[in-house]
Amino acid sequence: MLYAILAYHVESEVMSWTKEEDAAVMTGLRKVQEPLKAKGHFGPAARLDETRRARTLRGPGAGMVLDGPFAETKEQLLGFYIMEFSDEAGAVAAARELRKVNPGAVYEIRPIKLFLPADGFGATADVR
């Protein structure tokens, strides 16, 4: 089963990190990612740009493009991972390892029911 592990954090806190602090967190995350890659669990990952650069398309017809995601939360979605595990426990364990290096982050773990494979990374068996 494929899982999306969504990384939330207080954006202003992350943006206040020095280059050295940010690099240290990213280095720690890569150390967690390497064994996941070696075991074939780790798929695409992305660090999202600042929410001020985000746009939302909503409304009827062609819709309207609005500035930002307008999240009414303290944390913002700042990145995500796609990973493959046989069960939820594997995805939870991976998120716990990621959080050890970035303890201020919140990780949402969500199964992916439909996935269009890219670069040979698997697709879910149950497509509904």
Q: What is the pLDDT of residues 24-43, one digit of tens each?
A: 999 999 999 999 999 999 98
* Amino acid (one-letter) located at 70: F
What pTM value is reported for the model?
0.78
Quote the CA–CA distance of 92 and 82 in Å, as a whole number: 13
Summarize pLDDT for 75-99 with one digit per residue, the tens: 788 999 999 999 999 999 999 999 9
Residue 121 confidence (pLDDT) = 54
Quote the CA–CA distance of 3 and 98 in Å, as a whole number: 14
Give first-to-last CA distance, the chain, whole Å: 14
SS3 track for the chain: CEEEEEEEECHHHHHCCCHHHHHHHHHHHHHHHHHHHHCCCEEEEEECCCHHHCEEEECCCCCEEEECCCCCCCCEEEEEEEEECCCHHHHHHHHHHHHHHCCCCEEEEEECCCCCCECCECCCCCCC
